[in-house]
Amino acid sequence: MTALPQGLTAGTWTIDPVHSEFTFTARHAGVSKVRGHFEEISGTVEAGGSLEDSSVSAEAVVASISTRNEQRDGHLKTSDFFAADQFPTLNFTSTAVKPKSDSEFDLVGDLTMRGVTREVVFATEFGGVATDPNGNQVAGLSAEATVNRKDFGMEFDAVLGGGELLVSDKVRIGLELELVRA
């Protein structure tokens, strides 16, 4: 078993949504990247006695999606993409933590979007532990994964004149999380 990263103590840590981000990036028209995020995220990290005994559960509210363009945000909420009316949240539940170094590990788990669950591996880096100005113990995590949106039933395809897809199939997910010791 691998010890918890330095400074991280066993117990429950909650995502601080004010100091955390759930972002995504997709190629647009094959030439540029469009970025977005979810405004409403929540979740917990249960730090066990070892890294392998730890777990994560997290959620994002689809209606809180923002790409800085109301028309695009509205389209992303439709059945072409997230189907927010039918599937109001994205969920992640870890199934394994695989250490790579003292501060890096793979977080393996089930990501559910549009009612479809697929295993995803997040390359994760532990950012350390500190005490915030309010006296709370906080910890940081950065994580990244790439998924194929079609694996989650997002079949929308608009092909441009040169054969490029309007929206790429591959989507990069980025997490910057600040956790507060409960």
Tokens of 171: 């989507």
> Quick check: is 4 in a domain?
no
CA distances from 170 to 34, 68, 102, 154 (A): 12, 20, 30, 11
pLDDT of residue 158: 76
pLDDT of residue 91: 98
- b/e per residue 25-60 (b: at least 16 CB within 10 A): bbbeeeeeebebbbeebebebebeeebeebbbebbb
pLDDT of residue 156: 87
Number of structural domains (the chain) is 1
What average pLDDT values come out for the chain (182 residues) when binned by 10 residues? 93 97 92 94 97 97 97 96 98 97 95 98 97 96 97 86 79 97 93
> Quick check: is 3 in a domain?
no
**Predicted TM-score of the model (pTM):** 0.93
> Quick check: is 143 in a domain?
yes
pLDDT of residue 165: 64
CA–CA distance, 173 with 120 (Å, rounded to integer): 10
pLDDT of residue 29: 84
E-state strands within 29-71: 32-38, 41-47, 55-61, 65-66
Bridge partners (DSSP) of residue 147 are 171
> Quick check: is 177 in a domain?
yes
- CATH number reported for the structural domain that contains residue 96 in this entry: 2.40.128.110
> Quick check: is 6 in a domain?
no
Tokens of 125: 């880096």
